[in-house]
Each structure stands twice: as structure tokens, then as C-alpha cells.
């Protein structure tokens, strides 16, 4: 039996994914060891392999078929723009992709001013401002703690994910516009979907049933 390989975004999403998978009989004992430096884990009996990757690399592994299935946030899927099938909303890791800044920046947005936008998500920011809002902006790519940018004057606004809203609040910033809702999604390689249709469809169907049952 060929292995079905899962690429999981390391961290909280991976942990939640593994506990969801456990409920449909998919598990990996090796992965529970918190101290391991191993990168790839196997369940020989089920013919499954799992690896943890940086979130932004998960769509890449899946597009190239190095992983058959991936679990990663919608934010990362949109930003990476890879060719793959998005098959399921897992319902956790919910957050919103937003334009945020000090409330004075609302005015600048309204007048379509030539503003600077700091973001870890330059592709999403570009798509939103150029294609949806038809507003010319300067996008500045950042790698973290993006909320700093409007505070220290690097940019007028930011495009970032907001979960509880406390990072914005504690820094005197607010949501100015909502771009989209995000959550953890299951993605599948396009060739794997055909070659391993039966096994992959079963995983999707079982997860779907579990999620629907929980929401009821
Ligand atoms: C994310 C995001 C916000 C924060 C939002 O950052 O970029 O900064 O979480 O969460 P909240 O609305 O619940 O406050 P992350 O923790 O990934 O760190 P980073 O900015 O350094 O990448």
C-alpha cells in the first residue's frame, strides 16, 4: 500500500488536526513525543505519513505532490496561491483578514489616498487594494509584529489576521475593513485526488461527518 502523506502547519493547527483525525481513527503515536526532533512520522499499519512544516511551505509541498494532503490556514492558502484542491473547512483556527490601523486612517482609506500598507501577506494586500478596491498603495512586506508599522510610522495601515483583537486594542489600533474570514482548511494535491481517490475521499467524508455532527 502506498503511503498517504500529510503536511501539517506546525504549532497549534497541527495539534488540533491530529486530535480531529484521531476521532476518525487516524492517529500517529510517534508524533506525541514533545521532545522529538524527528521531522517525519509514520503509521505503518494505516499506510500514513505525517510531517510538520512551516505554514507557508505547506501549499508548496502539496502542489508538488510531496504531500498528498495538507492542513493550513486559509490566509496562507490565499497568500501562496498554489495549484491545489481546497476540500474542507475544518472549523478551527478562525480569524479575520483585516485592514487595520489608527482610526484616523479611515479617512485615508475613504479618499483612496496613496498610503503604505505593512503586511506579512503582500499578495492578499495587493489583490485587495488593486483588484477589489482599485486603490493604488505601496505594499511593504514585513515578517511579524506587523502592528508596529503604523505605530512607528512605517505605514499608515496594515493587512493582518485578527483573532481576539487584543493585539490591535493594546496598541491603539482597530479593524478598519474586513477582507475575508479565515480558518484551517484541508487541501489535496490534484494528482493524488485522482490516484488515491478512494482513500482520500474516505478521509474527507469521515471528517465532514464529524464536523457536521459537532456543529449540530
Ligand atoms: C498574529 C497576527 C496578530 C495576532 C492577532 O500574530 O499577526 O499579530 O496574531 O491575534 P489577536 O487578534 O488574538 O491579538 P502572531 O502571533 O502569529 O505573531 P507575529 O505577528 O509575530 O507573526
Name the percent of the chain lying above pLDDT 70.
100
pLDDT of 37 over the 90 cut: no
pLDDT attached to residue 153 = 97
Rounded distance from Cα 56 to ligand 1 centre (Å): 15
pLDDT tens digits along 57-96: 999 999 999 999 999 999 999 999 999 999 999 999 999 9
pTM of the full predicted structure? 0.95
pLDDT of the residue at 214? 87
3-class secondary structure, 209: helix
Tell me, in angstroms, the distance from the centre of ligand 1 to residue 7's CA. Answer: 22
Strand blocks (E) in 38-183: 40-43, 48-53, 69-73, 85-89, 95-101, 116-119, 138-141, 157-162, 174-182
160 lines ligand 1 (CB under 6 A): yes
Task: Using the mean position of ligand 1's atoms as its centre, give its distance from the Cα of residue 167 in Å.
Answer: 7
Burial of residue 86 (CB within 10 Å: 0-12, 13-18, 19+) is: middle
Whether residue 143 has its Cβ less than 6 Å from ligand 1: no
pLDDT of residue 184: 98
| Closest atom, ligand 1, to C-alpha of 164 | 13
Q: Residue 34 has what pLDDT?
A: 84
Percent over 90 (pLDDT), the chain: 91
Q: What CA–CA distance (Å, rounded) separates 62 from 55?
A: 12
CATH 3.40.190.10 fits 95-181, yes or no: yes
Residue 187 pLDDT exceeds 90: yes
Sheet with 95-101, side-by-side order of all strands: 138-141, 116-119, 157-162, 95-101, 174-182
Domain map (residue ranges) of the chain: 4-93+183-215, 95-181
120-170 pLDDT per residue, tens:
999 999 999 999 999 999 999 999 999 999 999 999 999 999 999 999 999
The reply to whether ligand 1 has any atom less than 6 angstroms from the CB of 162 is: yes
Distance 146 CA to ligand 1 centre (A): 8
> Is 95-181 the same fold as 4-93+183-215?
yes
Fold of the CATH domain 4-93+183-215 = D-Maltodextrin-Binding Protein; domain 2 (3.40.190)
Whether residue 19 has pLDDT greater than 90: yes
Amino acid at each position: 500500500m502506498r503511503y498517504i502523506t500529510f503536511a501539517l502547519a506546525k504549532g497549534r493547527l497541527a495539534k488540533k488536526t491530529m486530535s480531529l483525525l484521531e476521532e476518525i481513527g487516524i492517529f500517529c503515536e510517534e508524533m506525541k513525543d514533545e521532545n522529538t526532533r524527528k521531522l517525519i512520522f509514520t503509521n505503518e499499519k494505516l499506510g500514513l505519513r505525517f510531517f510538520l512544516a512551516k505554514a507557508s511551505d505547506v501549499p508548496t509541498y502539496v502542489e508538488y505532490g510531496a504531500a498528498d494532503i495538507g492542513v493550513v490556514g486559509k490566509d496562507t492558502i490565499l497568500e501562496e496561491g498554489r495549484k491545489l484542491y481546497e476540500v474542507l473547512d475544518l472549523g478551527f483556527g478562525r480569524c479575520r483578514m483585516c485592514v487595520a490601523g489608527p482610526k484616523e486612517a479611515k479617512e485615508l482609506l475613504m479618499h483612496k489616498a496613496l498610503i503604505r500598507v505593512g503586511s506579512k501577506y503582500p499578495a492578499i494586500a495587493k489583490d485587495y487594494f488593486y483588484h477589489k478596491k482599485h486603490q493604488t498603495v505601496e505594499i511593504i512586506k514585513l515578517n511579524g509584529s506587523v502592528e508596529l508599522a503604523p505605530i512607528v510610522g512605517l505605514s499608515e495601515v496594515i493587512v493582518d489576521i485578527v483573532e481576539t483583537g487584543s493585539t490591535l486594542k493594546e496598541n491603539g489600533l482597530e479593524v478598519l475593513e474586513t477582507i475575508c474570514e479565515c480558518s484551517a482548511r484541508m487541501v489535496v494535491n490534484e494528482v493524488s485526488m485522482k490516484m488515491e481517490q478512494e482513500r482520500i475521499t474516505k478521509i474527507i467524508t469521515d471528517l465532514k461527518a464529524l464536523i457536521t455532527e459537532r456543529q449540530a
